[in-house]
Amino acid sequence: MKATKMRPTFAVELPLSADEASDRIRTEIDASNLTTMSAGRFAEFRVPESERRFWSPYLSVQVEDTGDGSVLRGRFSPRPEIWTMFMFVYFVMTFAIFFGAALGYVQWTLGDSPWGFLAVPIGILVIVLLHAASLVGQRFSSDQTVQLREELDHLLRKILDSPVAESRLPRTNQRDLPDASRAV
């Protein structure tokens, strides 16, 4: 069974310098009809608007120089507005847990009913449910995750001007990517 992560990542080594790889990627993106944006050494791959769902993934890639070429690092995540909402709820629930624990402790030391402690299990439950929801969302959109990765692989094959064997496009941390065959 493959492990799932909140924001799966991977790396692809390229035989080009980071600037040359970025220029080629940007040129290919401009010439294609992909739902993609690029600026500098960054590019974003998105699911087309007509296919987008609440859980649709978003692929952000960055090219960095290495000693003998460059490395393209990719990260799958929810759309930025969804990711912001999740982080906000996590922050609010964490605050509620600490505030409830402090309030409950003060109430308990004063001899009052420590109802503030109720915020602790409620906050933990909300965080666990939110995390479970994110994992379910990853499974629902695993087909789109695979689609975005295939678009990136196709683009990399084009910019290298030759068929790229799988060995030249390693999927580092491939175990972290959702398996499309297990989509719920």
Give the separation between CA 179 and CA 184, rounded to whole angstroms.
10
In the chain, the percentage of residues whose pLDDT exceeds 90 is 28
In the chain, where the domains are located: 9-79+142-182, 82-134
For the chain, list residues with pLDDT below 70: 1-6, 162-184
Q: What is the pLDDT of residues 27-45, one digit of tens each?
A: 888 777 777 777 778 888 8
Q: What is the overall mean pLDDT for the chain? A: 81
Look at residue 95 in the predicted model and tell me its pLDDT: 97
- For the domain covering 9-79+142-182, report its CATH number: 3.30.310.80
Give residue 6's pLDDT: 65
Name which of 27, 30, 35 is nearest 79 in CA terms: 35
Is the pTM for the entire model greater than 0.75? no
